[in-house]
Amino acid sequence: MTPQRTLRIALLGAGSVGSQVARLLLEHGEELSERSGARLELAGILVRDPDAPRDTELPRELLTTDAEALILGADIVIELMGGIEPARSHVLAAIRSGADVVTGNKALLATHGAEIFEAADQVGASVSYEAAVAAAIPIIRPLRDSLAGDRIVRIFGIVNGSTNFILDSMDRDGLSAQEAQRIATELGYLEADPTLDLEGYDAAQKAAILASLAFHTQVSFEDVHREGIESVTADMIADARRAGYVIKLLAICERLSDPEGGVSVRVYPALIDREHPLATVHGGNNAVFVEAEAAGPLMFYGAGAGGVQTASAVLGDVVSAARRHLAGG
Ligand code: HSE
């Protein structure tokens, strides 16, 4: 039975993730509405140019360039534009207008998270961001909710799908870095500006988000020690292989034992023993290990990049936001 109440959804951005979110919302709208308890209506999609060619066809009547009107009329705003501005202004406008926000924007949260969460707290809006880290893998909600009663001491793993794909293709298939990057681009793994992935910015942003959640303190992207894979050569990968290792871009977040309760967050290419489970993380997959005092070691594994995979995390947040909206929370 289709629910009575309608929630209007504004989608900001129709890139590789946004277009998949729109497609799935339109195709599975009825099912998601039943699950949410409210009819989820895609009210509009903010794009730069409604007439630009797109890989995924979207209904022309939903495309708009009028951000203000779209945001003001929405109950749930999905921000998938990426970058800082205008995404930051749109998210703040959505919060002020009383909408719940779902975002996959790791750059925004890793630099302006404190401002956004504070604005949301002031008006009782929710900001959900499962898609911001490790794409399809549920890691935000487990850290925020499932492990809220535990004490996390360490998180480490692979949180960038494109660099994992590139390093893995060089190691296993003997591809050149350029060829592997070309395929990763075709698969939609890389950011619009690939240096964000290659130079470790994307992984550092995700590490800052994970550390903030895990250690209950605001860790900014600027606090993260960052090295990318741009200086990793085919020779280094071959030498590592001969010695029984594989090179992976690792993110490590640790609680320090100093009295101030400091944290250390670092991203760098590391030698991993081929027997370690991280060595078996292939292609665009990610794996995140969480060590908690009571729970012990936990491993989260799956697709870490890709439009449709990331859309799964976005839609999970949308359904949760709709349920919360209806519950008046
Ligand atoms: N460019 C990102 C990556 C996409 O390669 O992991 C998913 O966040």
ipTM topping 0.95: yes
Instruction: Encode pLDDT of 70-91 as tens digits.
Output: 999 999 999 999 999 999 999 9
> In angstroms, what is the span from residue 61 Cα to ligand 1's centroid?
30
Find the range with the poorest average confidence among 11-25, 172-186, 194-208, 315-329. Answer: 315-329
Q: What is the pLDDT of residue 55?
A: 83
* pLDDT tens column, 295-317: 999 999 999 999 999 999 999 99
Q: How far is the CA of 203 from the centre of ligand 1 (A)?
A: 8
Average pLDDT for 119-136: 97
Confidence of residue 1 (pLDDT cuts 50, 70, 90): low
190 lines ligand 1 (CB under 6 A): yes
Mean pLDDT, range 141-145, rounded to an integer: 98
CA of 110 to the centre of ligand 1 (A): 15
Whether residue 79 has its Cβ less than 6 Å from ligand 1: no
Which amino acid, one-letter code, is at 148? A
- Say whether 206 is catalytic: yes
Catalytic residue among 8, 206, 266, 325: 206
Q: Ligand 1 within 6 A of 304 CB?
A: yes
Q: Average pLDDT, stretch 7-29?
A: 97
Ligand 1 atom, smallest distance to 184 CA? 5
Ligand 1 pocket residue status of 162, Cβ below 6 Å: yes
Determine the distance separating the centroid of ligand 1 and the alpha carbon of 257, expressed in angstroms.
32
pLDDT in tens, 39-71: 999 999 999 999 998 888 999 999 999 999 999
Q: What pLDDT is stored for residue 328 in this prediction?
A: 82
pLDDT band at 3 (very low <50, low <70, confident <90, very high): confident
